[in-house]
Structure 1
Amino acid sequence: MKEIYDYFKQLTDISEKDWLLFYSKLQHVEFPKKAIILEQGKTEKHLSFIEKGMIRFFKPRLDQDFTFAFAFEKSFVSAYDSFLTQQPSTYNIEAMTDCVLWRITYDDLHAIYENTTVGDRIGRKVAEDIYLKKMKREIALLDDTAKKRYLDLMKEQPKLIQYIPLKYLASYIGIRPQSLSRIRRQIT
């Protein structure tokens, strides 16, 4: 819980009263490695904070899943588009390791927005952070070579390279595993 409080304190000052209200709405949930946290076709009902673990977002495909995002400890995770619209998700969210999450429901989060002085501000800053990361990734997929995307990934997110299977990394940067193997051989 301290990690969530520290995360909020980085964004803005949060009063003890507001923190206690937010804290009272959190639910502790654990998922084993490979568990599907949210299945395609189901509606996202939670915004979660990862205390422990790694998560991947993917579109299931017959030939090969398409991994398009990862989330790590000390960050928020959600099928955010489904969460905001309360419509079914078009992708899966999977625990890549054993995960410990702290979750708040859609309704409870909106009550926080209504009943605290900083809820809206924190929500906006979290949404802005998600948006900026998403735009940076989309531009890289359009502009950069696969090799550059992999090198940038090594520099910016070494956890990905260290802990995530190559088939997921390849999918994430938009190439086949064989192409990623060639790139890795070229740079070592």
Structure 2
Amino acid sequence: MEQIRKQLELKSKMTDHDWHVFASFLKKREFTKGSLILSEGKTENHLSFIEKGIVRFFMPGIDKEITFGFSFDGEFVSAYDSFLTRAPCTYAVQTLSETVLWRISYDDLQTVYATTQTGNLMGRHAGEKLFLIKSARELSLLKDSAEQRYLKLFKERPNLIRQIPLKYIASYIGITPQALSRIRKRIS
């Protein structure tokens, strides 16, 4: 749990009291590889921190799935739009490896916000991290070629390339696995 505190304190120091209040609500949950953390149509009720593992966000489909996000060790993970709006999620969240999460429920987080001095900063920090990852991917899809997206991904998140099946990487950068294979062949 100290890893969570370090991540949160990148933005602002918190008192031991505030940390203990926040930490008292965290629940450890372990998932096997391939577990659905959240199914399409369910409302996200947790903001989680990944102690260990890889999580993917995807749109289920009859013919194909579309992967649009990943989270790794040391990052926050949530279907954050559903978490904030309390509306059913339009996508699914799945583990790609054995995963350990530290989770806080929506209601418990509201209690932390109301009873601590730094609670709102903690929530804002987690939300900002999730937003920046999403925003960077969207901008890349709009302005970069498929090859540029792959090379950027390889440079910025090398753990993604090594640990995630190529079919999910291809979907993430918006191309077919065959097109990714051609790109990889061309740049090697």
- Common topology (TM > 0.5): yes
Separation of aligned partners in 2, 1:15 and 1:133: 28
Does structure 1 residue 185 correspond to structure 2 residue 185?
A: yes
Paired letter, 1:44:
E
Paired letter, 2:86:
Q
Which residue number corresponds to residue 20 of structure 2? Answer: 20
Q: What SS is found at the alignment partner of 1:11?
A: coil
Which residue number corresponds to residue 51 of structure 1? Answer: 51
Separation of aligned partners in 2, 1:99 and 1:130: 18
Give the deviation of 1:11 after TM superposition.
1.8
Give the deviation of 1:136 after TM superposition.
1.6
Separation of aligned partners in 2, 1:93 and 1:134: 15
Question: Which digits, 9 at most, give the CA deviation of each residue in 1:110-131, with x for residues without a partner?
Answer: 1101111111112222222222
Give the deviation of 1:61 after TM superposition.
1.0
The 10-residue stretch of structure 1 (118-127 or 92-101) with the greater mean CA deviation from structure 2: 118-127
Does structure 1 residue 168 correspond to structure 2 residue 157?
A: no
Separation of aligned partners in 2, 1:171 and 1:150: 11
Query: TM-score with structure 1 length normalisation?
Result: 0.98
Question: Which digits, 9 at most, give the CA deviation of each residue in 1:8-48, with x for residues without a partner?
Answer: 22121110000000111011111100010100001111111
Separation of aligned partners in 2, 1:47 and 1:126: 8
Gapped regions of structure 1 (runs ≥ 5):
none
After superposing on structure 2, the runs of 4+ consecutive aligned residues of structure 1 that deviate more than 4 Å are: none
Which residue number corresponds to residue 106 of structure 2? Answer: 106
* Identity fraction in percent: 52
Maintained 8 Å contact 2:31/2:95: yes
Separation of aligned partners in 1, 2:62 and 2:72: 27
Separation of aligned partners in 1, 2:48 and 2:173: 25
Instruction: Give the aligned length.
Output: 188
Paired letter, 1:8:
L
Which residue number corresponds to residue 138 of structure 2? Answer: 138
Gapped regions of structure 2 (runs ≥ 5):
none
The 10-residue stretch of structure 1 (49-58 or 132-141) with the greater mean CA deviation from structure 2: 132-141
Give the deviation of 1:53 after TM superposition.
0.4
Query: TM-score with structure 2 length normalisation?
Result: 0.98
Maintained 8 Å contact 2:8/2:125: no
Which residue number corresponds to residue 128 of structure 1? Answer: 128
Paired letter, 2:138:
E
Question: Which digits, 9 at most, give the CA deviation of each residue in 1:141-171, with x for residues without a partner?
Answer: 0111000000000000000100000000000
Separation of aligned partners in 1, 2:3 and 2:150: 29
Separation of aligned partners in 1, 2:126 and 2:23: 17
Q: What SS is found at the alignment partner of 1:10?
A: coil
Query: What is the CA RMSD across the aligned residues, in angstroms?
Result: 0.8
